[in-house]
Amino acid sequence: MQDRASNLEEEAILAGDLPRHIAIIMDGNGRWAQQRGLDRTLGHRQGVKALKPIVKEAARIGIEVLTVYAFSTENWRRPSHEVEVLMGLLVEFLASETAELKDEGVRIRTIGDIARLPLPAQQSLLWAQTETAAQTRMILNLALNYGARDEILRAVNRWRTENQDEALSEEQLSSYLDTAGLPDPDLLIRSSGEFRISNFLLWQLAYAEIYISNILWPDFDAVELRRAIRAYQARHRRFGGLG
């Protein structure tokens, strides 16, 4: 009965209007660890493990772009040991998963000011992006040292350098953002029950549907991803118009 229900759910999802681009704020790793009396870093390690099945499921369903908030510009304020662990987990994830992601047709990209990351992390990212550059099934967009306000400021400053006297349009600003060339997110998912955007894709999320999950990120799975997509498909998107 469970398999039949799962198959029916998948048929319904695939028959509906799929979001082209899903953005996820992966929240709750620290609380997950604290609830179990564990060090926060173990929550981050479990959170990295939770990402892999979500990427595979999104690619399998047919999502074009999956952007995950992995490390924000504000996360540098955390204890140095925790930051070091997070950077190490990034390197481990890329080393262990890039080959399989490549086989799954996933292309790895980044948004954010990557130049501030430790050199091993930068080198791993460059290698992973080069390895998967030709893949076309889905883009996995890792937001690293990313903050939306920082992104917008960097975009405007680049524009001013190249076009000093010309007025700036929405389309032109979009072309200078880190997400240039990608569709704006249709669906934003935030785990752990928090109702905040947290300086994530402020420009791009202007008309995204928002799904708040009470599940902490390490426990977020393909079932909850499908639930979010079904909720998205049940909504009527008006983009500021009547309806």
pLDDT by residue for the chain (243 residues), tens only, comes to 556 556 656 666 766 799 999 999 999 999 999 999 999 999 999 999 999 999 999 999 999 999 999 999 999 999 999 999 999 999 999 999 999 999 999 999 999 999 999 999 999 999 999 999 999 999 999 999 999 999 999 999 999 999 977 889 999 999 999 999 999 999 999 999 999 999 999 999 999 999 999 999 999 999 999 999 999 999 977 766 645
Judge whether 37 is annotated as a binding position. Answer: no
Name the β-bridge partners of 22.
66, 187
Judge whether 74 is annotated as a binding position. Answer: yes
Reported pTM: 0.93
In the chain, the N- to C-terminal Cα span, in Å, equals 38
Tokens of 168: 């700036």
Catalytic residue among 3, 7, 17, 27: 27
Judge whether 243 is annotated as a binding position. Answer: no
Judge whether 27 is annotated as a binding position. Answer: yes
- Please indicate whether residue 184 is annotated as part of the active site: no
Q: Which long-range contacts (CB under 8 A, 24 or more apart) does 72-81 make?
A: 72/143, 72/145, 72/146, 72/147, 72/198, 72/199, 72/200, 73/112, 73/113, 73/145, 73/146, 73/147, 73/150, 73/199, 74/147, 74/199, 76/145, 81/41
Judge whether 100 is annotated as a binding position. Answer: no
CATH H superfamily, domain 27-167+182-220: Decaprenyl diphosphate synthase-like (3.40.1180.10)
Judge whether 163 is annotated as a binding position. Answer: no
Catalytic residue among 75, 184, 199, 221: 75
